[in-house]
Structure 1
Amino acid sequence: AYELFQGPLVRWAQGRVLAYPMQAPPTAVMVHGILGNRKNMASFAKMIVEGFPSWQVLLVDLRCHGESASLPTRPVGPHGVTAASGDVLELLRELKLFPRVLIGHSFGGKVVMSMVRQFPQRLPRPVQVWVLDSLPGEVRAGGGPQGGDHPGALIGFLRSIPMPVAKRSDVIDMVVKAGFSSNVARWVVTNLRPVREGTAYGSGPVTWTFDLDGIAELYSSYESTQLWDLVQRPPEGLKLDFVKAERSTFRWGGPDEAAITGAGHGVHLLPNSGHWVHTDNPLGLYDILAPSFGGSSDLKQWRSNAVRHA
């Protein structure tokens, strides 16, 4: 499942050419993290196409997540980083798109790295890859396996909750009582849906949109997948950059950052942000990523001018 956000100039151009073929506009792909879905990235995608109106941004629901988990043609296991990246590449082939920018958050960071890794020598076209608060190798999330909000522990607990439940507040209570933060609990329940189709949300029992057994496989693959070879021997045409959140629970440390910069790639510190970089400090993240879209568009100034001339 996917969604395409298009800037106003893209929509205008498509209206002008009518039935005549046109070259695909510059495209970015944004990939969510584990237990997420494409809607998590929607606000930031809208910000990108607002600031760079000639671009379009493709958001996807990874396998076992969001609407992809209930597709009649949903992929079967085994589920892993490589399989997830292959799904996105296949979608791009179907849509006849070759993105200029790939952006992946957390687990999605390894997915986008794996996408370009499948072209070991030379990319068909130059690509900028942004990895948001993730590393190529060891996963150090949530303060360790026994730390609060550790994704592996959270996935295990969510799998233990009998479904369906009467209402989403019941899940929030259970998650908090199990020792996870209220922020994580509120985020997790965005992945609940009514059991009966057509039922208004909140008026009946709910269940998960995602496939937790498949997600457990994906997370295990995330922990075991090593992509340092891509960092050390990138294919021709790849520009690789990492964003490190100032208050990351990911525990950046040791020689990893030095190894990334020593290989010629960038590590950019995002201030005033935890792991959820695209929601904690979206304008700061926008400023870091803006040069990849062909400029340094000042969205704050752009919005101010738009209001003044409205």
Structure 2
Amino acid sequence: MSAAARAPPPPRALSAPSRRAPLGAVNLSAPRPGARVGAARPREENFHNNCLLTSSSLNSSPLLCPPCNCAQMALADTRIPYQPDVDKHAGVLAYELVQGNLVQWNSFMDKAIPDPPTAVLLHGILGSRKNWGSFAKRLAQEFPMWQFLLVDLRCHGDSASIKKRGPHTVASTALDVLKLIVQLRLTPRVLVGHSFGGKVALSMVEQAAKPLARPVRVWVLDATPGKVRAGVDGEDHPAELIEFLRRMPEQVSSKQEVVDALVKGQFSVDVARWVATNLHRTSPLGQRSSSSFSWTFDLNGISEMYKSYEDTNLWRIVENVPRGVHINFLKAERSLHRWALEDLQRIHTAEELAADEGGGVEMHVLEDAGHWVHADNPDGLFRILSSTFRIETTIRGMQD
């Protein structure tokens, strides 16, 4: 039977979830092309009853996410709505679900109805799910049977208000995402992680046989499984940026104040503008005389996460790839990292080993791009990633 023949009827429009909404509530009306489903924060209870996990104590750390084109627009438009105190209930993570126009599914439907093919997109340090917004919409338009889960990782974006127990590591961050996809009743076919998010994706594969599908394709964008090697002199270094931000006042009068301070501190204008998009208004819009902004992230937690990113070694999952897992590394031509020759040789050796064991490892290079791959060369990245979604769509069609 074809996927179209089995498709459930369009979901009825649902009202916005209340504080007592069911787990994994997703507010859906009939989706439009590249539709975004509003963020929700499902609760964490009953997770271990739903998912087999082998916990591991990993340490790991991130690199910066891209200063996307929206940074300048966000800086120019400082009329951000006043954001009151968030819900105090402990959830998993804040997220958005971007769906293609052929997706007719929500988490309230009968569990017997299979979820559509899903990809999870993970941002890097000091980023947020917004970094993937326009790219995910483009993917949803090209692959309308797919849906794309964008999350704010712990200590970042809207998830910063959801208190998490330490330690703040790659492993604990990966466990958060695994909990979320269980609560949403999803079985991802593709994991895409940029920088720190790349190590998170590898840790997800290592920690859990479920709820990850087999086959599952993992994309690690401009990050190696092990040692983080700093870039050349004169480049923005994430650890230095984090420490600089920690020394700044918790509240500032404007975004421009932060941009000016960062540029004076020898950080690039693009990174300064991008960082300023993480500010939100903390006084009502009408009170211009007392206008102030504060960070949407937890800098202390992020500092710990970055240290974990530097320390975490996940070569073991790359050199012993589980059957049905295909790991793709993408190196940016002008990467912030120094991709050592030993890293490249080790990945190529893993390619040969994985092929013999029923898994896969592959290396790609994205030309004309620095570390922020989805901002520097989105067209090139789209062409490379599209092959994965075409392959998975074909496999799913054959199984149907």
Q: Does 1:134 align with 2:223?
A: yes
Aligned partner (choices 92, 110, 115) of residue 24 of structure 1 = 115
Aligned partner (choices 198, 201, 224) of residue 112 of structure 1 = 201
8 Å CA contact retained: 2:226, 2:313:
yes
Alignment of 1:198-213 (within 5 A): 204-213=291-300
TM norm structure 2:
0.68
Hey, what's the Cα distance between the residues in 2 that align with 1:186 and 1:205? 17
- 1:251 maps to which residue? 338
Question: SS of the counterpart of 1:242?
Answer: strand
- 2:52 maps to which residue? none
- 2:371 maps to which residue? 275
Residues 278/296 of structure 1: CA separation in 2 closer, same or farther (3 Å cut): farther
Residues 203/21 of structure 1: CA separation in 2 closer, same or farther (3 Å cut): farther
Hey, what's the Cα distance between the residues in 2 that align with 1:38 and 1:121? 24
1:159-188 alpha-carbon deviations (Å, 9 max, x no partner): 000121110101001011111111110110
Residues 106/20 of structure 1: CA separation in 2 closer, same or farther (3 Å cut): closer
1:189-243 alpha-carbon deviations (Å, 9 max, x no partner): 0100011266699982101000000000000000000000011111121100011
Hey, what's the Cα distance between the residues in 2 that align with 1:157 and 1:276? 21
Hey, what's the Cα distance between the residues in 2 that align with 1:240 and 1:82? 18
8 Å CA contact retained: 1:166, 1:204:
yes
1:4-32 alpha-carbon deviations (Å, 9 max, x no partner): 0000111xx349xx889632100000000
Residues 120/229 of structure 1: CA separation in 2 closer, same or farther (3 Å cut): farther
Partner letter of residue 86 of structure 1?
Answer: L
Hey, what's the Cα distance between the residues in 1 that align with 2:269 and 2:137? 27
- 1:301 maps to which residue? none
- 1:304 maps to which residue? none
Residues 169/189 of structure 1: CA separation in 2 closer, same or farther (3 Å cut): same
Hey, what's the Cα distance between the residues in 1 that align with 2:122 and 2:230? 18
Cα RMSD, aligned residues only? 2.6
Q: Does 1:4 align with 2:100?
A: no
Q: Which moved more, 1:252-261 or 1:148-157?
A: 252-261
- 2:175 maps to which residue? 86
Q: Which moved more, 1:207-216 or 1:119-128?
A: 119-128
1:55-110 alpha-carbon deviations (Å, 9 max, x no partner): 00000000000000013xx2121110000000000001100101000000000000
Alignment of 1:93-172 (within 5 A): 93-119=182-208, 125-143=214-232, 147-172=234-259
Unaligned runs of 5+ in 2: 1-93, 352-360, 394-400
C-alpha displacement of 1:276: 0.8
Structure with greater helix share of residues: 1
Q: Percent identity?
A: 53
8 Å CA contact retained: 2:188, 2:213:
no
Unaligned runs of 5+ in 1: 298-310
Q: Does 1:220 align with 2:311?
A: no
8 Å CA contact retained: 1:32, 1:106:
yes
Alignment of 1:44-55 (within 5 A): 44-55=135-146
